[in-house]
Structure 1
Amino acid sequence: MTYDELKDQIKDAMRARDKVRLSILRQVHGELKDIEVNERRDVTDEDVTAMVKRLIKQTSETLEGSQKAGTDEERTQNLQRQVEILNDLLPAQLAGEELTALVEKTIAELGAETKRDMGKVMGALNAATGGNFDKAQAAKDAGARLS
């Protein structure tokens, strides 16, 4: 997602009067605006993705606390919806057969043979996909192919 796409989604949420979506999108926008002001640079697509991931983590932690407390059902549902909205903003994660093929290709390119090479394989996958892959599945696939 780009910064301009985020702004467009904010406008769409305003038109639809979707308060929950508008709230979380404005939160992302505000955090990105801080980058522009404090660091005096333009926001990149990587900044947008990193900020969305950070907010997913924060909102998920708040959601867990709300679920454990169990006192405010409306707040819990609101937080669940916010996490879903944030997840929709991220590009689709690489998983399944595509990920398995990439793991095999990476192992072949690196010449990895033992479990000691697992870090190199995971690092190369991270670099190739920008960290946008199912890490648990990748580790399982790589572990099965490395002795």
Structure 2
Amino acid sequence: MQSEEFDMTYEELHAEMVAAMKAKDKVRLGVTRLVLGELKNAASRGGAHEITEEETTAQIKRTLKQTNETLEMSEKAGNNEERTQNLREQVAVLESLLPAQVSGDELDALIEQVIAEIGAESKKDMGRVMGALTKATNGNFDKPAAAQMVGARLA
């Protein structure tokens, strides 16, 4: 498991894969292999370079989004509970690989700070506030909750 503040490095993700192999954790192993494979493919398409923490985290987020979408479709179809449960486990593994999302009171305090810093006064400033929140948290915040909180403050 990683720190709440830092993105995961490629090497840390690889270590997660090795640990999953040793623990015979098939779900974690499959998920980490998938993300590592996608990262290698992207790196080979973009020319040989060292894979950054940001690229690793972005790939985990993309994979999480895709898996969540597949899970939603599987739940709506309701025909294969075993597959649906496997997707839920994959989502849990992917979420554990990401930094913790800013939410609740911490998000509320950050919104107050951002509004004060940029001098937001009306709903017209909402985009600037959300952009500043994204920059401040590297996108790791509950966006629907934040939009609601910001909207309430900038009425």
1:22 aligns to 2:29 (yes or no): yes
After TM superposition, the structure 1 stretch with the greater mean CA deviation from structure 2, 135-144 or 95-104, is 135-144
In structure 2, the residue matched to 1:66 is 74
Query: Cα deviations across residues 36-62 of structure 1 (Å, max 9, x unaligned)?
Result: 211122211111111111111111121
> SS at 2:134's partner residue?
helix
In structure 2, the residue matched to 1:126 is 134
Decide which of 5, 9, 25 is 1:2's aligned counterpart.
Answer: 9
1:115 aligns to 2:123 (yes or no): yes
After TM superposition, the structure 1 stretch with the greater mean CA deviation from structure 2, 34-43 or 18-27, is 34-43
**Counterpart-to-counterpart distance in 1, 2:62 and 2:112:** 30
After TM superposition, the structure 1 stretch with the greater mean CA deviation from structure 2, 120-129 or 136-145, is 136-145
More RCO (CA 8 Å, sep 6+): 2
Decide which of 85, 91, 102 is 1:94's aligned counterpart.
Answer: 102
In structure 1, the residue matched to 2:20 is 13
Identity %: 58
Residue type matched to 1:5 in 2?
E
1:85 aligns to 2:79 (yes or no): no
Structure with more helix by fraction: 1
In structure 2, the residue matched to 1:141 is 149
Runs of 5+ consecutive residues of structure 2 not aligned to the other structure:
1-7
Runs of 4+ in 1 over 3 A off after TM superposition: none
Query: Cα deviations across residues 96-116 of structure 1 (Å, max 9, x unaligned)?
Result: 111111111111111111111
**CA positional deviation for 1:144:** 2.0
Residue type matched to 1:83 in 2?
V
Residue type matched to 1:9 in 2?
E
> SS at 2:76's partner residue?
helix
Residue type matched to 1:38 in 2?
R
**Counterpart-to-counterpart distance in 2, 1:66 and 1:58:** 12
**CA positional deviation for 1:73:** 1.8
Root-mean-square deviation over aligned CA pairs: 1.2
Decide which of 42, 46, 58 is 1:39's aligned counterpart.
Answer: 46
Runs of 5+ consecutive residues of structure 1 not aligned to the other structure:
none
**Counterpart-to-counterpart distance in 2, 1:111 and 1:64:** 39
Superposition TM-score, scaled by structure 2 size = 0.90
